[in-house]
Structures are given as C-alpha cells and as structure tokens.
Structure 1
Amino acid sequence: MHYVTSKSILSKNNGMNLYRGCTHGCIYCDSRSKIYGMDHKFEDIAVKENSLELLKKELRRRPKSMIGTGAMTDPYIPLEKRLKYVRKSLELIHNYGFGFTCITKSDLVLRDLELLKRINEKSKVVIQMTLTTADDGLCSILEPNVCVTSRRVEVLKTLNDNGISTVVWLCPILPYINDTEDNINSIIDSCIETNVKGILCHGMGLTLRDGNREYFYSKLDEHFPGLKDRYIREYGNDYSIPSPNDRELMKIFKKRTYDAGIMNRWDEIFRYLHEFPQSSYQTKLVI
C-alpha cells in the first residue's frame, strides 16, 4: 500500500473511492483496465490519506442524499480491517444524516452492522453484494481472496434480518465457466431465500479490454487450460463477451425474478439506490 492525497472525494453523483486498487484477485476485474489510468500495480493499494477530511467538508455543504462506494474498488478489502477508512466514513455519514450504499463481495461489511443499522434508522442503507457462482470451489478460483458465495449468502440473510435492504449483482457470467442454468437458478434461489430487493444483470457475459483481458487470459491458462484459445477464436479483441447461452439464461432470470417480485430492471434498481427518503429523514429530525 501507499498513501496519496486527493483534491476531492465525492463525485457529482455522490460516489466515493477511499482506496484505489484491490487485493481480492478476481480474475475478470474490469478495474484493471488501462483506460482508468492507474499508475501503480493494481494490488498496491493507493490509500487516499486526506479522504476523511474531504468527506467531512463535502457532507457539510451538500444536500442530504445517498453516498455510494465500491464502483471501482471493493471498499471492504483486507486493508480496511486495519485502516478503518470505511468505518470512519460511515460515522461521518451517520453524523451528517446521509444515506449509504456500497458494492462488496466481503463479509467484513458485517463488522459495521450496528453502525449501518443506525444510519438506516435515520435515513437509508442498501448493501449491494456480487454473486457470480453458486459453487464455492469455483468461486475460490474466480474470486480467490475474498469470502465464498455461501458466506455472502449468509451476509445477505443477516442484513435482511436486521432490516437492511440488499441488491445483488449477478455478474459477470463467464462463457463456458459459470454460464449454466443450474448456476443461475441456484443464485436466484439464494436471492429469493434472503429476500433481496433487486438483482442487477445486464446480460450473461463479461467485458474485456486492454489491461484486464491479459490478466484474465493468464488466469484461464492457469485454471482452465485451452479455454483462452476458444475465447480468442470466438471473440477476438471484442469488448463485449456474451455467453452463447445468454438468451436462454436471461429468460430464466427475467421470469424467476418477476415471479418472485424482485426488481430486475437497471433503471428501476438504480433509481431505488439513489432515492433518499427526504420526508422520513425530516420527520425523524422533528421527533
């Protein structure tokens, strides 16, 4: 790890990244792509040392809203156990009456459960959890340095039991690896059992571009010999890598989520993620 300073911490849409880089080791991670201009090794985490001071200043002057994190870097990387930047940012979010949402694969989020509950009582919290494969063994290959899927499902249940809404990212689905009906049905089963609010799935496949493509292919050679050649033959240097089973799997996804009353449209889910309960917050202030 190394420290850097930033000029700002919140984007215009109230997104933040306290860290840059990741050590989860997910073989498909788009954040490795050269397009993002990272000037250091991906696993050498850049810690924004002045991020909490910046966040405090920006929360003071911005209207109440949802603060999000996790779009580029999982906020609950192992380094967070020691540095507690996410924890401290949550304390500021709570103190200033904002809402919170994040995308993670880590059960470390439960460390902050009581604080998340306090924020949720005042405003709103939505935890977004990525699920790619129901098979824990395969999960350990695809996402080697973070908790396996069965543990993430336990986290979803714990959050739901404590009144915190959840959304699942069902992606990426890798052609010839986890693009099966059994896998999609198993993940949806878990989502239904844990009462998730919505499931985000833009399509069955993944994206590859310079930077993450090379890393992904090296891991295919390591764990799935011969599969890289098939990808190159079928997809070349395409950005979009759809599963040949996309149409059938998306039918299953749409029907099962609709039948279960789970949100499945991107626009609907993102609207929900960004909605801040103004009236609820004001009422609680008066009380």
Structure 2
Amino acid sequence: MHFVDAKGILSQLNGMNVYRGCTHGCIYCDSRSACYGFTHAFEDIEVKRNAPQLLEKALRSKRRKCMIGTGAMCDPYMHCEEELQITRKCLELIERYEFGAAIQTKSDRILRDLDLLKRINEKTKCVVQMTLTTYDEELCRILEPNVCTTGRRAQVLEILRDEGIPTVVWLSPILPFLNDTKENIEGILEYCVRAKVRGIICFGMGMTLREGDREYYYQALDRHFPGLRQKYHQKYGYAYELASDRNGELMGIFRSVCQRHGILHDVDACFRYLHEFPEKYEQLTLF
C-alpha cells in the first residue's frame, strides 16, 4: 500500500475510485489489464489520501445534484478500507451535501456503513451494486479467493432489502468451462429473486480477456484447473470476447426469470436507473 495526492477525484460521469489496485484476488479481474496503465503491482494499493478533500471541493462546486458512483474500477471496500475509512469519509460528504450514491462492491464490509447508506437513501437515493458470479461456494473461493463468497453477498442483499436500500446485481463475468452452467445461473437468479433486486446487469454469458488480465487468468487456470488453458487457446486464441457455448440457453433462462419477477435486465435501462437522480432533489438550494 502506498499513498498519493491525486489531482482530481470525479470523472465526467461523476464516478470515483479512491483506491487503485485490489486485494480481492479475483482470477479474471479486467482491472489488471495493461490498458489501464498501472505503474505499480496490482496488489500494492494506491491510496488517494486526499480523496475526501477533493470530493468535497467537487460537490460544493456542482450546480446540480447527481448520483456519485464508486467501485467501477477498484472495489471501495477492500481490506485497507477497514483501517483507512476513506470510502466512509466520502460517503459522509455525499450524505452531508445531499447527493446520491451508487456503490459497486463484492464485499460485506459495506454493511459497516449501513447507517450512512440509509441516511443517503432517505434524503436522495442510494443504490448498492453487488457482483455475483459463482453459486458454488467452493468454486467461488477459487475464483474470488480473498473476498466473501456469493452466499454471504446474497445475505448482504437481503439485509439491504430489509433496510429499504435498492440493489442491482452484476452477473458478470461467466467463465467458459467453469461457471457457465444452468445450475450456476439458476442459483444466482434465485438469490436475486429472494433479495428483490431492482435490476441485473448481464452483458451475455462469457468473459473478456486482454493483455495483463489474460496472463494472470491463465496462470490461475494452470494452478487450479490443469489443462484448461489449452482448451481456451484452442477455442478462443487471443480473442477479447470469449462467449460461452451455452450463451443462448443461459440468456434465455436469465431473461425468463427477470421478466417473470419484474427485474430490470436491459443493460441500458439498468444504467439509466443507476444514474437517475430523484427529480425533486436535482436543483441545489441557495442556502
């Protein structure tokens, strides 16, 4: 872990990452890709120590309220957040200035900030996005080794449901030859239905691989699933998009369950929901 003073904190779409890198160890993580320009080891977390100060300045300068997103690139609830609490400090500012929050994570550490999530949601809107990929708990511990399993994340979704906080699930990635099964998709969808999630984001049954991410993934396959790397090479070569052979069947199951239970599942509709700020709060007060 090392500390930097960042020059800015919010993107053009009002997203922020207070950390760069991750310690969750997910074997498929796209954020490892070379295109993101990491100049340090991925597990050597870069901490933007001045993130709260930058965020407060940015929020005070905005003419209109909006949703503030975090977690799209690096999880805001990694192990170091327990001590540093930078994510919490930023949420305190979002709540104080009455903006909305859209938080993406795999970690049950988010429950530490349940008080803040509830206050933000009471004032404006708070949406928690939870990534679910693998119903089988043992397989999940291999694919996502340093973070709570899918079963625990499902419990978090139910707690948020009971507290009135809307949730969206990322059903991605689905790894060919590993979790692209009917049992896996149906198990995850059962969790989503039980938790009454607002939407599920799924780009199709498959994954992406590019330089940096690809090498790490294949090394993990060699450790845990000997011979599987060769199947990937034979089928996909060096393709960026790796669609499962079961994509049609599994997407049919996905759409059917979502339609039956009234769950948003069009990707564009899900993103509109995440970015929509409640109209009555859009204009800043003068006081």
TM-score, structure 2 as length reference: 0.97
Whether the aligned pair in 2 keeps the contact of 1:166 and 1:198 (CA below 8 Å) is yes
SS in 2 for 1:116: helix
The residue number in structure 2 matching 1:223 is 224
SS of the residue corresponding to residue 28 of structure 2 reads coil
Partner of 1:59: 59
Match of 1:4 in 2: 4
Superposed CA deviations along residues 167-213 of structure 1, whole A, max 9, x for unmatched, are: 00001000010000011011101100010000000100000000000
The offset of 1:4, in angstroms, is: 1.1
Q: Work out the CA distance in 1 between the residues paired with 2:214 and 2:9.
A: 29
Q: 1:157, CA displacement in angstroms?
A: 0.1
Unmatched segments (≥5 aa) in structure 1: none
Matches within 5 A, 1:47-196: 47-62=47-62, 63-196=64-197
In the TM superposition, residue 281 of structure 1 has moved relative to its aligned partner by 7.0
Alignment coverage as a number of residue pairs: 285
Q: Secondary structure at the match of 1:233?
A: helix
Aligned-residue offset at 1:132: 0.3
Q: Percent identity?
A: 58
Q: Contact 2:66–2:282 (CA<8 Å) still a contact in 1?
A: no
Quote the offset at 1:282 in angstroms.
7.2
* Contact kept in structure 1, 2:4 and 2:47, CA below 8 Å: yes
Amino acid aligned to 1:103: Q
Native 8 Å contact 1:122 1:281 kept in 2: no
Q: In structure 1, what is the Cα distance between the partners aligned to 2:94 and 2:58? A: 11
Q: Distance in 2 between matches of 1:51 and 1:86?
A: 9
Shift of 1:278: 2.7
Q: Which amino acid aligns with 1:269?
A: C
Secondary structure of the structure 2 residue equivalent to 1:173: coil
Other-structure match for 1:236:
237
The letter of the residue matching 1:22 is C
Output the CA distance in 1 between the equivalents of 2:278 and 2:139: 39
Amino acid at match of 1:131: L
Does the 8 A contact of 1:123 with 1:281 survive in 2? no
The aligned residue for residue 249 of structure 2 is: 248
* CA distance, structure 1, for counterparts of residue 175 and residue 246 of structure 2: 10
Q: Does 1:17 align with 2:51?
A: no
Does the Cα contact within 8 Å between 1:75 and 1:104 map onto a contact in 2? yes
Q: What is the alpha-carbon distance in structure 1 between the residues aligned to residue 89 and residue 281 of structure 2?
A: 24
